[in-house]
Amino acid sequence: MKKNVLYAQSGGVTTVINCSMYGVIKAAMRSEKIDRVFGAKNGVSGLLQEELVDLSKESQETIEMLKYTPSAALGSCRRKLKSEDDFNRLFDVFKAHNIGYFLYNGGNDSMDTAMKIHKKAQEIGYDLKVIGIPKTVDNDLMFTDHCPGYPSSAKYTALSIFEATLDVKAMSHDSTKVFVMESMGRHAGWIAASSALLKNSDDEGPHIILFPERIFNKDRFLSKVEDVVRRFGYCSIVVSEGIKDENGNFVSDTGMVDNFGNKQLGGVGFQISNIIKNDLNLKVHTALPDYLQRSSRHISSLVDVQEAIAVGMKAVEFALNGESGYMVTIERLSNEPYIWTVGKVELDKVANKTRELPDDFIDEEGFMVTDKFREYALPLIQGEDNIDRWKVPNHYSRLHWNMVEKKLPKF
Amino acid sequence: MKKNVLYAQSGGVTTVINCSMYGVIKAAMRSEKIDRVFGAKNGVSGLLQEELVDLSKESQETIEMLKYTPSAALGSCRRKLKSEDDFNRLFDVFKAHNIGYFLYNGGNDSMDTAMKIHKKAQEIGYDLKVIGIPKTVDNDLMFTDHCPGYPSSAKYTALSIFEATLDVKAMSHDSTKVFVMESMGRHAGWIAASSALLKNSDDEGPHIILFPERIFNKDRFLSKVEDVVRRFGYCSIVVSEGIKDENGNFVSDTGMVDNFGNKQLGGVGFQISNIIKNDLNLKVHTALPDYLQRSSRHISSLVDVQEAIAVGMKAVEFALNGESGYMVTIERLSNEPYIWTVGKVELDKVANKTRELPDDFIDEEGFMVTDKFREYALPLIQGEDNIDRWKVPNHYSRLHWNMVEKKLPKF
């Protein structure tokens, strides 16, 4: 008997999560084993409310434009499945809509959710194939060479700091001497590290990267800033939102936590700028790209787009082959030329785990990446696959929200 | 007798000021009347110090790459000519280096400087042709249809808010409800206005633009935010750094002034976000692109690149024709198809003046642009002329700094 696929998106967005959605729809719709492709509105949140969209009814154009649409077209969520009630309800929905395949596109929190659903299915003997599709600009999932979304954020970050460094350089004669850009990366410095990907000489920016993997020491930092300004006349700095001091406290800690217990960070760039202003009396400019950094589809890398589509397609293939409880991974076969393929790993190996920057990706002084990091990251940001939004009518994907009729009582 | 050209850059940078530099060098080097093309390091600051670069000695590659190099390759300055001593020194430098043509690339402060130099030359009977070349992302120069640099910042702003709005839309189910992006524009809302250039329907971002041309009223603003969130579930806001309250005070006023007496602004985006958090209890994300907004060469418009080159070339042509005391302007001949040409205006008409957004470019409610603005701005952001920095070796212009031998005592 044919079954339906259920696909959902979760957590912070990327520029290419909708490319994975495209991959899922494409692969699912050409399979004989699959009846319809459903999407859950707002991840498990909508799933619990039985808010399913029939993606099989979408127009070809809407599906094609998913490739050029940043963020999460289905809506995302930060909801955690909390109780037995949640899980029971989820399976009521699966049963009511003949769901045989559940594909969850997210980061390490979402892989935990996917793992629990997989285990519950086994426990209650419901035939469900659960596959996780990786996605996070933070690049902190284990057992995959990298995560879709990261290459594009890396490219954005490298280009932005390159361009802004030329700006502060020009202004440094009698105005701004220091430029500070805050980057995302709660627990790992992958995005911050990527800022060095256009740097080919000492004078080029960034001059200093503050990694969450290294303890922030104010005196060492200020003396480094002084040294850079003395040598070049200006200084360009990238600071990861997640840096901590000697006591393990976030340098910027607003005290708020999200539903997963993660601390809500923000503003560390301004704290760093204030330290420089107060202690060194230099004029500082501060940039906080925030969401721009993870939704800048206009500068996404071609590699990222291709890989994001591939992990979506392969998730369907794995599920159809009867596999369950895995996350799709990207495996690097060769660096030059860059050759990759798609593999898989057990969900419980990646759930709730964080992959930090390896020690040999950060240099001894602790303020810059090594060539080893460059070799790792440079192949990922190559190429572009963009559209001119002013030339293409209907230049992004607007779902028609063909909602599937509800069959269950309210939850 | 052949004379030398002196070209200098001043004020805040843009992505295409070096395109104008390219235009100047190209036009000057093919003229029989011109001996050498000098650049002043850091605008009038370097000029006073007799710090001249012989651009005629630059390699062809370095000159070509100027087109793809954001910021000001010669270095900029915010120095104001203050005293008779300054002016006398300037002309000592002109005389010592046989300068017959002075081309100053900047905004309205710089046009004031250029005008004063022009008048001083007439006063002392020194044969100098002075031409101003317009440049400012703020787009606030009078008597030119628009200013080189603005179209590219406009394009960056429109794309960034479009992409980030899709982000907050996806997150709004159980996380961020409001996204606030601060834009440049000290006295005029041109950049803030440009954020609407990809908006085609009510639900698309931005939903609210705060213009410096409209008084900021907290209650009206909050009620608008509430209304948008009620209708769409989320709200995307662009706020110009220069907005003022009922009493004419900048909503964000750090109390610092630059050398021209301009107030140094910053942080208004966070103030707006805090108001929303405190009064409406909504989760807000805030972005401050800062320098990224005026150095994002990767998304510069082709029109902007072409026009910036043209105003540089025409500045040389006007000067060679014996004209002095003018700023080059861009004249729009037709909107569809967009056809432009280059004209000129007396410097004293543009010096120190600010062109605000016309009343009919802002709608009645005061939170959005009109179709008239869209008709004005859309032609300017079309096309791209980009390079892949990871594919092109020496992907930006690094001057060789062939300094001209000093002939004067220190100043």
Candidates B76, B168, B175; nearest CB to A78: B175
Q: Which of B405, B323, B399, B300 is nearest to B22 (CA)?
A: B399
Q: Which pLDDT band, with edges at 50, 70 and 90, does B236 fall under?
A: very high
Q: Given an 8 Å threshold on Cβ–Cβ distance, is A167 in contact with B286?
A: no
Check whether A352 has a pLDDT greater than 70. yes
d(CA B288, CA A352): 31
Look-up of token digits 């709004």: B172
Q: Measured between alpha carbons, how far apart are the two ends of chain B, in Å?
A: 29
Check whether B138 has a pLDDT greater than 60. yes
pLDDT value for A261:
53
Q: How far is B310 from chain A, CA to nearest CA, in Å? A: 23
Query: pLDDT above 70 covers what percent of chain B?
Result: 97
Would the CA dihedral through B385, B391, B396, B401 be positive or negative?
negative
Q: Which of A297, A58, A328, A10 is nearest to B164 (CA)?
A: A297
Q: Given an 8 Å threshold on Cβ–Cβ distance, is A285 in contact with B290?
A: yes
- Those residues whose C-beta lies under 8 Å from the C-beta of residue B37, and which sit 6 or more positions away, are B4, B5, B7, B24, B25, B28, B29, B54, B55, B56
Q: Which of A148, A162, A186 is nearest to A306 (CA)?
A: A148
Q: Given an 8 Å threshold on Cβ–Cβ distance, is B73 in contact with A170?
A: yes
> In B, which residues are within 8 Å of A69 by CB distance?
166
Q: Given an 8 Å threshold on Cβ–Cβ distance, is B169 in contact with A288?
A: no
Check whether B264 has a pLDDT greater than 60. no
Chain A, nearest residue to B71 by Cα = A167
Chain A, nearest residue to B383 by Cα = A388
pLDDT in tens, B286-333: 999 999 999 999 999 999 999 999 999 999 999 999 999 999 999 999
Contact between B61 and B368 under an 8 Å Cβ cutoff? The reply is: no
pLDDT value for A112:
95
Q: How far is B359 from chain A, CA to nearest CA, in Å? A: 26
> In A, which residues are within 8 Å of B170 by CB distance?
9, 13, 71-76
pLDDT value for B253:
67
Secondary structure of B255-272 in HEC code, one letter for each residue: CEECCCCCEECCCHHHHH
> In A, which residues are within 8 Å of B389 by CB distance?
159, 162, 198
Task: Output the CA angle A52-A55-A59, nearest 5 degrees.
Answer: 140
Q: Which pLDDT band, with edges at 50, 70 and 90, does B38 fall under?
A: very high
Q: How far is A242 from chain B, CA to nearest CA, in Å? A: 17
Complex-level ipTM: 0.96
Q: Given an 8 Å threshold on Cβ–Cβ distance, is B42 in contact with A75?
A: no
Check whether B241 has a pLDDT greater than 70. yes
Q: Given an 8 Å threshold on Cβ–Cβ distance, is B290 in contact with A286?
A: yes
Q: How far is B32 from chain A, CA to nearest CA, in Å? A: 32
Q: Given an 8 Å threshold on Cβ–Cβ distance, is A299 in contact with B299?
A: yes
Candidates B15, B166, B299; nearest CB to A295: B166
Q: Given an 8 Å threshold on Cβ–Cβ distance, is A174 in contact with B42?
A: yes
> In B, which residues are within 8 Å of A382 by CB distance?
390
pLDDT in tens, A27-57: 999 999 999 999 999 999 999 999 999 999 9
Q: Given an 8 Å threshold on Cβ–Cβ distance, is B297 in contact with A163?
A: yes
Q: Given an 8 Å threshold on Cβ–Cβ distance, is A291 in contact with B389?
A: no
pLDDT in tens, A66-89: 999 999 999 999 888 989 999 999
pLDDT value for B254:
46
Sketch out chain B's domains with CATH numbers.
Answer: 3-138+298-353 (3.40.50.450), 150-296 (3.40.50.460)
Q: Given an 8 Å threshold on Cβ–Cβ distance, is B290 in contact with A290?
A: no
Q: Which pLDDT band, with edges at 50, 70 and 90, does A264 fall under?
A: very low
Give the three-class secondary structure for B84. helix
Q: For the residues of B176-214, what is the DSSP string, one character each?
A: --EEEEEE--SS--HHHHHTTTT--STTSSPSEEE-TTS
pLDDT value for A55:
98
pLDDT value for B261:
54
Q: For the residues of A232-244, what is the DSSP string, one character each?
A: HS-EEEEEETT-B
Chain B, nearest residue to A75 by Cα = B170
Q: Given an 8 Å threshold on Cβ–Cβ distance, is B384 in contact with A388?
A: yes
Query: pLDDT above 90 covers what percent of chain A?
Result: 90
Q: How far is A166 from chain B, CA to nearest CA, in Å? A: 6
Q: How far is A348 from chain B, CA to nearest CA, in Å? A: 26
Evaluate the omega torsion of the peptide bond into residue A337 and state whether it is cis, within 30 degrees of 0. Answer: yes
Q: Given an 8 Å threshold on Cβ–Cβ distance, is A290 in contact with B164?
A: yes
Contact between B243 and B187 under an 8 Å Cβ cutoff? The reply is: no
Contact between B363 and B207 under an 8 Å Cβ cutoff? The reply is: no
pLDDT value for B274:
87
Mutate to test the interface with A, among B288, B297, B382, B392 (most CBs of A within 10 A): B288
Look-up of token digits 């002939």: B407
Instruction: Find the mean pLDDT for residues A248-264.
Output: 60
Q: How far is A135 from chain B, CA to nearest CA, in Å? A: 15
pLDDT in tens, A137-185: 999 999 999 999 999 999 999 999 999 999 999 999 999 999 999 999 9
> In B, which residues are within 8 Å of A79 by CB distance?
174
State the pairing for strand pair B129-134/B326-335: parallel
Mutate to test the interface with A, among B77, B109, B166 (most CBs of A within 10 A): B166
Q: Given an 8 Å threshold on Cβ–Cβ distance, is B160 in contact with A69?
A: no
Mutate to test the interface with B, among A17, A81, A183, A290 (most CBs of B within 10 A): A290
> In A, which residues are within 8 Å of B205 by CB distance?
none
d(CA A295, CA B179): 13
Which runs of consecutive H residues, i.e. helices, occur in A125-233?
Answer: 150-171, 190-194, 218-232
What is the residue type of B344? K
Query: pLDDT above 90 covers what percent of chain B?
Result: 90
Q: Given an 8 Å threshold on Cβ–Cβ distance, is B198 in contact with A388?
A: no
> In A, which residues are within 8 Å of B44 by CB distance?
none
Q: Which helix (H) or strand (E) holds B161?
A: helix B150-171
> In A, which residues are within 8 Å of B290 by CB distance?
164, 285-288
Q: Which of A114, A119, A111 is nearest to A47 (CA)?
A: A114
Cβ contacts below 8 Å, chain A against chain B, sum to: 176
Q: Given an 8 Å threshold on Cβ–Cβ distance, is B170 in contact with A259?
A: no
Torsion (CA) A243, A246, A251, A253 in degrees, nearest 10: 110
d(CA B264, CA B259): 10
Give the three-class secondary structure for A387. coil
Average pLDDT of chain B to the nearest whole number: 95
Contact between A72 and A40 under an 8 Å Cβ cutoff? The reply is: no
pLDDT value for B260:
53
Q: Given an 8 Å threshold on Cβ–Cβ distance, is A259 in contact with B297?
A: no
State the pairing for strand pair B235-240/B178-183: parallel
> In A, which residues are within 8 Å of B384 by CB distance?
388
pLDDT value for B256:
44
Candidates A258, A298, A382; nearest CB to B390: A382
Candidates B167, B259, B382; nearest CB to A295: B167
HSE toward the beta carbon, residue B342, CA cutoff 13 A: 20
Contact between B44 and B90 under an 8 Å Cβ cutoff? The reply is: yes
Q: Which two tokens stand for residue A228?
A: 């850079």
Mutate to test the interface with B, among A110, A167, A235, A237 (most CBs of B within 10 A): A167
**Which residues of B are marked as active site?**
138
Chain B, nearest residue to A288 by Cα = B288
Candidates B163, B258, B291; nearest CB to A295: B163
> In B, which residues are within 8 Å of A73 by CB distance?
170
Q: Which pLDDT band, with edges at 50, 70 and 90, does B257 fall under?
A: very low
> In B, which residues are within 8 Å of A298 by CB distance?
159, 163, 299
The one catalytic residue among A54, A109, A112, A138: A138
What is the residue type of B92? D
Q: Which pLDDT band, with edges at 50, 70 and 90, does A124 fall under?
A: very high
